[in-house]
Chains A and B, each alone.
Chain A
Amino acid sequence: MSSDLFASIKEGDEYAFTKKDFTRTDFARYAGGGGDFNPIHHDQTFAEKAGLPTVFGMGMLTAGILSRVPAEWFGPTSVKSFGIRFKTRLWPGDDVEFKGIVKKVYEEDGVTHADLDLTAITGKGEVLIQGFSTVRPWSA
């Protein structure tokens, strides 16, 4: 589906989107979707007892959204690897920009591959997640 894209991809190309105003409902929806029912992510009373101002988002919620960068850009079946490092926490009300940039384009076994650098950065300029991905065309 993305063979034309792989033919024209070059170093420095970018893809980004922003999700504004994360809510506790976003956390609750991910708890149901992903199965993470750690109360630190949905229970205000529990969070306060743990010394936090409020609940914070699951790392794998923002990681999942960041994984959409290579998947939307190159297609859901074109991702060969995806990795993340968690840097700080996501709070309700945060805006987050999810971004990818092509770092390197190369041939491996006659197939075009691209290595991407990925970041999730809050509206306050804090890095939430640093990530990487390698993409290449794949067919069933």
Chain B
Amino acid sequence: MAEINPPGMPIERGKIHEFANSIGCDDPLYHDAEAAAAAGLPGVVAPLTYTSATAFFQPTDAPNLIKDLGLDMRFILHGGQEFFYERPVFAGEMLTAEQGETIKTVKEGKRGGSMQIFDSFTNYKNQDGELVLRVKNTLIQTGGVVKE
């Protein structure tokens, strides 16, 4: 199946509504444009992890960290994620993700082999060039297949 992803990340009320339901967010501020307007907000609010969901809808020419770092998909773990908000994200904005620096550290694992830890930073700006949030994503490459 083709995946076609045009440039930019439009923040849309319908997608926010669907995403909010998928994680059980029931505050009207995520769903109801009138409730958001009554609260003095420019649009419904995107849930806190919304930008990491829409990362899957990023333009196909956007930086691909796993490919760029030459990592082996079979041995990659998602270690964690951190979000730093300048302010909330609202429906009606158009965000662009800018890849920042990646910091690599090597740690000796307890169960043999070393782990490479990659902390990468992404800045999300809106259509006016305003920085809205920063995200730090941690990927861990293990020495082999991880057994529980």
A interface residues with partner B (beta carbon < 8 Å): 1, 19, 29-30, 32-37, 59-61, 63-65, 67-68, 70-72, 76-77, 79-86, 88-89, 138-140
Q: A81-B82, A82-B82 are in contact. Are A138 and B23 (CB under 8 A)?
A: no
A60 touches B148 (CB 8 A): no
A-side interface mostly: mixed
A86 touches B79 (CB 8 A): yes
Cβ-defined partner of B27 (8 Å) among A64, A67, A72, A80: A72
* B45 interfacial contact with A, CB 8 Å: yes
Interface segment out of the listed B14-22, B64-72, B95-103, B124-132: B14-22
Q: Which residue of A lies closest to B87 (CB)?
A: A138
B27 touches A76 (CB 8 A): yes
Q: A60-B49, A64-B49, A86-B79 are in contact. Are A77 and B41 (CB under 8 A)?
A: yes
A82 touches B53 (CB 8 A): no
* B112 interfacial contact with A, CB 8 Å: no
A65 touches B27 (CB 8 A): no
| Contact count A vs B, C-beta below 8 Å | 109
* B42 interfacial contact with A, CB 8 Å: yes
Chain B residue numbers with a CB within 8 Å of A71 are 25, 27, 47-48
A19 touches B24 (CB 8 A): yes
B79 touches A34 (CB 8 A): no
CA distance A139 to B40 in the complex (A): 8
CA distance A33 to B57 in the complex (A): 11
Q: List B29-78 residues whose CB lies under 8 Å from chain A.
A: 29-30, 39-42, 45, 47-49, 52-57, 77-78
Cβ-defined partner of A81 (8 Å) among B40, B80, B84: B84
Provide 27 A-B residue pairs closer than 8 Å at the C-beta atoms, listed in order of the A residue: A29-B22, A33-B19, A34-B56, A35-B54, A35-B57, A36-B53, A37-B56, A60-B53, A61-B22, A63-B49, A64-B19, A64-B23, A64-B49, A65-B24, A71-B25, A71-B27, A71-B47, A76-B27, A76-B88, A77-B45, A77-B88, A79-B88, A81-B83, A82-B85, A85-B79, A85-B138, A86-B79
A32 touches B22 (CB 8 A): yes
* B81 interfacial contact with A, CB 8 Å: yes
A33 touches B88 (CB 8 A): no
**Which 3 residue pairs across A and B have the least CB separation, nearest first?**
A33-B22, A35-B56, A83-B82
